[in-house]
Chains A and B, each alone.
Chain A
Amino acid sequence: MIGKWKNNMRQWLTNQMELPADVVADLPRITMIGHIHIYIENHRGLLLFTDRELRLLLKNGQLLVKGEAFSIKTILPEEILLEGKISQVLYLEE
């Protein structure tokens, strides 16, 4: 009940004050440069990493990145920069 109210409140704030959603709602911010770089902020940890797949834990659900020749350029507690040939970015809801 309170959680839902909180979410509504956030939604309203985002709409009303024109604040970026990631700041207010604690969502991941994903920046892609073509298909070679993907930069993900606000993740909650690494779940799986192979040269064809990257799975990240988010606040709500997971993020799945598929492609080829992956390498992690940078990994920090809340940020990750992935390099490779990216073909898909998928959200997996819990």
Chain B
Amino acid sequence: MKNEWVYRMSGNLRIRIVGKGLERLLNDFTRRGIYVWNVRREDESSLTCYMFLRDIRHVRAAMRKSGCKLYVLERRGVPFWLKASWKNSGIVVGLVAFMCIVFLLSNMIWRIEITGANPAVEHTVRQQLKKIGVERGALQFVIPSPETIQRTLINNMDTVTWIGVEWRGTTLYCQVVEKKQPTQTKSNTPQHLVAKKKAVITYMFVEQGQAVVEVNDHVVPGQLLVSGFIGKEGQTEIVPARGQILGETWYKSTVVVPMKTTFYMLTGKKRETHYVRFWSWKIPFFWNHKEQFSQFEKQVDERTFRFLTWTLPIRYEKVVWREKEVAVREYSYEQAKAVAKQIARDQLKRQLPADAIIQGEKVLHEARENGKVKVEMHYQVIENIATPQPIIQGD
């Protein structure tokens, strides 16, 4: 026997039948296989009952013969409900659309706040952000994570030392620490030029001032190179000495390179799992697990969703496992030496100003000890050795 639930779900009608011979009609219904329930007599010539919508054609046929009249009192069940909800669907659609819009707007960037930067730098920061798709109106789950933004910005901008990127609601805060750019102003205060390093002068170009040393002179730190006093004795003038004094300087560096190194290398294979998180439940919904890696780097990218001011307990999480493998690098003695030289050179270059030229290099000493190659290098460098020294006038 069917239960109440089935009645509810399928379309059914509450009907009133008016006429004579209602018992005969009920017998006729049962014979035709029409199922009726909750039959109640109202008075002499009418009764109410429930019937299925699907039996309506058979009921019509039975009614025609009996001469009774049928009135529908109530329509119930899913088909009628659907019909009704179709009529009211405008409201539902509107409501859903509204929620969607609020949801989308809640997850948008509305403001990018940049602090600690002057207008020019701020402008470049904004442009850089725009380049990676971060601008007003961008959806938060489409743009990269703050860490990535931060890294990209720092790498792409040479006028900043550091940028902190942080999400707070619909605002992206960028805190910029600018590089202190040396002010390239021509000083007009009286000054001498003195040597900043021990060197042998190779080239001199004096713009202003009186040179006191010559090419091939050996100078020590602090030694006067170009004097700010010009003119004959007795009638000297004080000027800001300017010029370019190149000298040969020397650097020594020692580099140790192990001949055998063990390190991890990513193989490029990865597997990903995408999770939806409800509170603390993690439900994977997409994954490509083909193989298990014995050694891997795990990377977790989590995205939250907001609705108005609330952070929804539903999160999206992407976990990437990148396979890594142990790689052993072995150098021969010659290779290790070459690498050591290269490292020493790179280190030196980093330390020197951009306009310095490495003129010559010499291996002072090379040794092989405990599986390592130790190389001591000597470099000859041509660089600007002049540094201004203000003339403080006494009396």
Residues of A within 8 A of B (CB): 45-51, 70-77
Q: How large is the interface on B (under 10, 10 to 19, 20 to 34, 35 or more residues)?
A: 10 to 19
Interface contact B40-A51, CB-CB below 8 Å: yes
**Known contacts A49-B22, A49-B41, A72-B36, then 10 further A-B pairs from the complex at CB < 8 Å, ordered by chain A residue:** A45-B27, A46-B27, A49-B26, A72-B26, A72-B37, A75-B30, A75-B36, A75-B37, A76-B35, A77-B30
B46–chain A nearest beta-carbon distance, Å: 11
Interface contact A73-B26, CB-CB below 8 Å: no
Residues of B within 8 A of A (CB): 1, 22-23, 26-27, 29-31, 35-41, 47, 49
A37–chain B nearest beta-carbon distance, Å: 14
Total contacts A-B at CB 8 Å: 41
Interface contact A75-B26, CB-CB below 8 Å: yes
Contact (A74, B31) CB under 8 Å given A46-B23, A46-B26, A49-B22: no
B333–chain A nearest beta-carbon distance, Å: 100
Docked pose: A51 CA to B37 CA in angstroms: 15
Q: Which of A47, A48, A75, A77 contacts B39 (CB 8 A)?
A: A75
Q: Which of A48, A72, A77 contacts B38 (CB 8 A)?
A: A72
Q: 10 shortest A-B CB distances, which residue pairs?
A: A72-B39, A71-B40, A46-B23, A77-B30, A45-B27, A51-B41, A50-B41, A46-B26, A46-B27, A49-B23
Docked pose: A5 CA to B35 CA in angstroms: 39
A63–chain B nearest beta-carbon distance, Å: 14
Interface contact A48-B23, CB-CB below 8 Å: yes
Docked pose: A71 CA to B22 CA in angstroms: 14
B39–chain A nearest beta-carbon distance, Å: 4
**Cβ of A77: which chain B residues have Cβ within 8 Å of it?**
30-31
Minimal Cβ-Cβ distance residue in B for A45: B27
Q: List 6 A-B contacts (CB under 8 A).
A: A45-B27, A46-B23, A70-B40, A72-B36, A75-B26, A77-B31
B31–chain A nearest beta-carbon distance, Å: 6
B394–chain A nearest beta-carbon distance, Å: 122
Interface contact A76-B30, CB-CB below 8 Å: yes
Interface contact A71-B27, CB-CB below 8 Å: no
Docked pose: A73 CA to B1 CA in angstroms: 12
Interface contact B41-A70, CB-CB below 8 Å: yes
Interface contact B38-A73, CB-CB below 8 Å: yes
**Cβ of A50: which chain B residues have Cβ within 8 Å of it?**
41
